[in-house]
Amino acid sequence: MGTTQRPHDVVVVGSGFGGLFTARALAGVPGVRVTVVSGVNHHLFQPLLYQVATGILSSGEVAPATRDVLRRQRNARVLLGVVEDVDLDAHEVVHRSPLGVVRTRYDSLVVAAGAGQSYFGRDEFAEHAPGLKSLDDALEVRARIYGAFELAELTDDQEVVDRLLTFVVVGAGPTGVETAGQVAELAHRVLPGQFRRVDPARARILLVDPVPQVLPGYPQRLSAAAARELERVGVEIWTGWKVVDVTDRSVTVEDADGQRHEVPTVCKVWAAGVAGAPVGRVLAERAGVDVDRSGRVPVEPDCTLPRHPEVFVVGDLMRHGTLPGVAQVAIQSGQHAADQIRRRVRGEPTGQEFVYRDKGSMATVSRFFAVAQIGPVRTAGVTAWALWLGVHLVYLVGFKNRLTTLLHWAVSFLGRGRAERASTWQQVVARNTLRRTGEAALGSRPADDSTG
């Protein structure tokens, strides 16, 4: 009698860009069985989280269920669980769920667990200045932003009002610039006329970073254009200042000469720095290699773990030369890992170097204004904004998400509405309670399943 050959089991850790594009690239490959293990039940389109935080988009539009995305891929399954260890000798992934610990065997492993927020050794800042790396982050930030305006309506104490209506965004990269720009639009364009005692247009929005200019990775001309637009919409740019302390009532900043200034503020958003997922350090330790300062795992040119050609590390969690931690790196490295696995299953030569094709970068600053660099093209203004809209629509997963996103953009950008303003104080209180007790909801640990 003939024997049935056992499938080649591929375990993908993470459901971000790297994980999802790896799994989809293996659709229909004969003899391959894919298991996606993720601490969250959704694929997160992280570049648009700031729009969830500012009430433009709903969480479902940027975070479709992973099962729904892969529902037609018959060789793929999805398991809910946080990966805590990898047994490189036994070829097993150890992951935790509310039902206990599970060990899943692999023939090939793709670790795409992504990166989370880094507070540069001051993790206590997170209680008062949440990041924008997860859906929980975005919903908490939304509650803090809108909650600040609501609380300001309740008091006649001008000192309290000023503190509530001062918003500080830490980090002048794309996420910080986009967040600050939208908070300014919210305060100066959307909310005026909706309150009776307080004027939202009085709000101050501060963008703080020790770097000398906003969008430091962009050409000087685009950076300057972004700065001018931020100032036009009402953002105060505090470049050259470093945050040295964060409390529930203030942010303390320090300049290059050591001079300190305390800014009274209730609502802070942290958009500076990234740290690799915790599983990266575990994997590196098991393999006998060292992670870098950001917690990224060094990989071979083909994205494999040193001395373990069956293990791939892709996206934000890998250190591959000087590649940046952006969605396109995660997408392309995930697709490369899938191609290497296909070759291995077919008995073809493997080990080809991963070659990243830079498709450019862009950041939106305000309504009808963005900056973009695509190859030799450098542009700022409405043309770049239109390019930004088109690119983000293309990479959103699912026709329904694209359609509803387009409708919400029409409401927000052509009109003055914000369709997704609902928030609850529990979104702030519950997360801080979890932080204080040291407990974490499944998938809510630092740097779990973000863009990678």
Q: What share of the chain is helix, strand, coil (3-state, %, to 5)?
A: 35, 25, 40
Q: What residues act catalytically?
A: 178
* DSSP state letter for 262: E
- Locus of tokens 């779990």: 448
Token pair of 96 as six digits: 């935790």
CB of 55 closer than 8 Å to CB of 187: no
- Give the Cα separation of 170 and 210 in Å (integer): 10
Q: Which residues contact 195 (CB under 8 A, 6 or more apart)?
A: 149, 152, 153
Cα 242–chain centre separation? 22
Query: CB-based burial of residue 180 (10 Å sphere; 0-12 exposed, 13-18 middle, 19+ buried)?
Result: buried
Closest CA to 441 of 449, 77, 225: 449
- Locus of tokens 């904004």: 385
Closest CA to 246 of 232, 230, 266: 266
- Give the Cα separation of 139 and 50 in Å (integer): 10
388 Rama sector, left if φ>0, alpha if ψ -120 to 50, beta otherwise: alpha
- Give the Cα separation of 12 and 19 in Å (integer): 6
Backbone dihedral angles phi then psi of residue 365, each to the nearest 5 degrees: -105, -40
Token pair of 80 as six digits: 């809910």
- Give the Cα separation of 394 and 383 in Å (integer): 17
CB of 115 closer than 8 Å to CB of 274: yes
- Give the Cα separation of 197 and 134 in Å (integer): 34
